Amino acid sequence: MALLESMGLEAAPLAKRLAGARVLVVGDVMLDRYWFGDATRISPEAPVPVARIEKMEERAGGAANVARNIASLGGQATLLSVVGDDEAAGALERLMADAGVATSLKRDASIATTIKLRVVARQQQLIRLDFEDTPSREILADKLDEFSALLPAHDAVILSDYGKGGLAHVAAMVTLARAAGKPVLVDPKGDDYARYAGATLLTPNRSEFRQVAGRWADEAELSAKAEALRSKLALDALLVTRSEEGMTLFTDAGALNQATLAREVYDVSGAGDTVIATLGLSLAASLPLAQAMTLANAAAGIVVAKLGTAVCRQDELFAL
């Protein structure tokens, strides 16, 4: 409760505001599969460990994990994406239903649903196997029509780009959402951010921002590069997540830095999903951006202490 008190917020009224906030999440989804076991010997066939699998888990990843975080924080999430017409798509739909997320998953029989299979032994990841395809243009065009239809019923839009091809029409989505007066938050990918021009907020991590803006020698140079990108893309704000250095928000008011609140870092996978989910839900609930950033920073600190693609629950956040 100390966190909320420091922000001038109370738990009950905030929970009510979050419960009424509706966020449309669009992007690349995947099914994260975890095979847990033990590895006590080396294979006689090759110099690799032999994992004896004892337990298997399935979790929703990518944009699906963003939506799952929104629901876990007490908000309303709708997930729009493209999947294959296969068993993994059915698994994703069940996971989303169990999480309380509304879904519009477009089935494309020509592709396989993206799967990331991780083999974990003694708390260490031995290998990750990826299975993925690019959706067809026809399915993506259909998704854009659905996006337009869903917009009026939502308070904010999150575009979660994992570079799997599901956001081929991202520029049109940004334009449509801004024209409808909705804040648009983008978790970017790649080295071409031009397609995100006009968005409300971009949330690259440190390495992603460096890929686009180049290296910086000090905070002043970082700020200059951030402002140059913000001006070029006509962004309201840019949030750079900086791992152990916390996160920095760049707006017209200048740069605002917050130190990391992580007490223990166990697994950083999915932390970016939690950050943008918390930001999007907070803005949908009409919280100021600075407060949204504080909540996102705290939620990320909770998630990195968990294994794999995890979520931050509202009770965990409010208990800080």
The per-residue pLDDT for range 196-217, each reduced to its tens digit, is: 999 999 999 999 999 999 999 9
Homologous superfamily of the 1-30+60-113+134-319 domain (CATH): Ribokinase (3.40.1190.20)
**Long-range contacts for 248-256 (Cβ within 8 Å, ≥24 apart)?**
248/222, 249/289, 249/290, 249/293, 250/223, 250/226, 251/289, 254/223, 255/219, 255/223, 255/226, 256/290, 256/293
What does the pLDDT read at residue 263?
66
Given pLDDT bands bounded at 50, 70 and 90, which one contains residue 266? Answer: low
pLDDT in tens, 119-176: 999 888 899 999 999 998 889 889 999 999 999 999 999 999 999 999 999 999 999 9
Whose CA is closest to 78, among 152, 122, 25? 25
Write out the catalytic residue numbers: 273
- Mean pLDDT, rounded, for 39-47: 95
Report whether pLDDT(293) > 80.
yes
Percent of the chain with pLDDT over 70: 98
Q: Percent helix, strand, coil in the chain (nearest 5)?
A: 40, 30, 30
pLDDT in tens, 59-104: 999 999 999 999 999 999 999 999 999 999 999 999 999 999 999 9
- Mean pLDDT, rounded, for 284-311: 93
So where are the chain's domains?
Answer: 1-30+60-113+134-319
Separation CA 197–CA 227 (nearest Å): 14
